[in-house]
Amino acid sequence: MFRLILLTLLIIVAVPCEWTPSTTARLAFAAEPLNVVVTLPVLKDWVQQIGGSHVRVVSLMTGYESEHTYSPKPSDLVAVRKASLLFEVGAGLEVWVSSLVKNAGNASLQVVTTSKDIELIQDHAEPAGDTHAHQHAAGNPHVWLDPGAAATMVQHISSAMVAADPAHAPEYRTNTAAYLQSLLRVQEESLERLHKVPNRAVIVHHPAWPYFARRYDLRIAGTILTQPGGEPSARHLHTLIEAIKRDHIRVIISEVQLNQKVPQLLARETGAHIAVLTTLPGGLPGTETYLDMLRYNVLQLAQALEQT
């Protein structure tokens, strides 16, 4: 009888052990990071700030390419096929995304446009007189360069991640709130840094800066490149040189992603200073995150303006 009871107890104890491998598999599956694809490094930074170790994020661009003319690679297609979420800026910036998503054939993929609900600035004809200036049909898409607009984009990312991965929703919400506080603090610090800078007119290399200029009360007096991938005409350069001299414009905002030949020419002809900034995190050393990039851009610009 004792042996029978002992055998029964052993069977009872053994039964749960038979389910351990499948239970472990389910737990491992539940612990798998949320697969996310983003178009730009700035979106990758925000996903990582919100998701931490619970996300696996791939940025299709590295920070050195042109957002307008980027050509997706085969590895991008693979990444999109595995992803649950794809975050884009939208507003006509990444025109190549729709075909990439279509070719990936990922029916469960959710594409989130982070510029939603942000009032876009419409491009206008150049003050310097170029009537062939490039205009974005929906409005200028470089919204993330305004930290106020960046806060809206972060909230869109957070909401989509909470919906896609409710198991970690409390942590996502906590991280989002902390990040938005940090973003507000850096915005206030950068506004104070530029508050007393004189002569706030600038020439920009590429039409990426209207949101930044509006937030920091700068006046864009002219743009060097008015067509993506094009070169300015001799007439346009002459008009810019005249405007710089006439209006005593002392700073040209250039970008690390662009050829510095023309800004250097304008600087030689006019004596203006060049401030080389970046539109994307990682474009320059010390700009690995969005907050780092914002601090860097404001500091470089302030120092250039103060030299005048």
Give the pLDDT score at 100.
Answer: 96
Give the pLDDT score at 67.
Answer: 75
**Pair 251, 162 in one domain:** no
**Pair 80, 171 in one domain:** yes
**What is the C-alpha separation between 166 and 153, in angstroms, rounded?**
20
**What is the C-alpha separation between 125 and 165, in angstroms, rounded?**
45
**Pair 266, 230 in one domain:** yes
| Cβ atoms of 52 and 171 closer than 8 Å | yes
**Pair 134, 172 in one domain:** yes
Span 43-72, pLDDT tens digits: 999 999 999 999 999 999 987 777 777 899
Beta-ladder partners of 286: none
Give the pLDDT score at 257.
Answer: 82
**Pair 248, 125 in one domain:** no
**Pair 38, 180 in one domain:** yes
Please check whether residue 166 lies inside any domain of the structure: yes
Which of 153, 170, 187 is at the close of a domain?
187
**Pair 173, 155 in one domain:** yes
Give the pLDDT score at 90.
Answer: 96
- In the structure encoding, which two tokens stand for residue 292, read together? 């780092």
Give the pLDDT score at 228.
Answer: 67
State the CATH number of the domain containing residue 247. Answer: 3.40.50.1980
Give the pLDDT score at 136.
Answer: 54
Give the pLDDT score at 137.
Answer: 58
Give the pLDDT score at 164.
Answer: 97
**What is the C-alpha separation between 185 and 189, in angstroms, rounded?**
6
Give the pLDDT score at 35.
Answer: 98
Taken in order 121, 92, 165, 63, is the CA torsion positive or negative?
negative
**What is the C-alpha separation between 61 and 228, in angstroms, rounded?**
17
In angstroms, what CA-CA distances link 72 with 43, 58, 97, 120, 239?
17, 13, 9, 26, 37
- In the structure encoding, which two tokens stand for residue 159, read together? 């909401």
Structural domain containing residue 64: 32-187
Residues of the chain with confidence (pLDDT) below 50: 1-2, 4-30, 127-135
Is the backbone of residue 233 left (phi > 0), alpha (psi -120 to 50) or beta? beta
Tally of domains in the chain? 2
Give the pLDDT score at 68.
Answer: 73
**Pair 178, 198 in one domain:** no
Give the pLDDT score at 231.
Answer: 86
**Pair 167, 220 in one domain:** no
Please check whether residue 1 lies inside any domain of the structure: no
**Pair 88, 181 in one domain:** yes
Span 90-143, pLDDT tens digits: 999 999 999 999 999 999 999 999 999 999 998 765 544 443 344 455 799 999
**What is the C-alpha separation between 53 and 34, in angstroms, rounded?**
9
The whole-model pTM stands at 0.85
**Pair 213, 177 in one domain:** no
Give the pLDDT score at 229.
Answer: 67
148: buried, middle or exposed (CB in 10 Å: 19+, 13-18, 0-12)?
middle
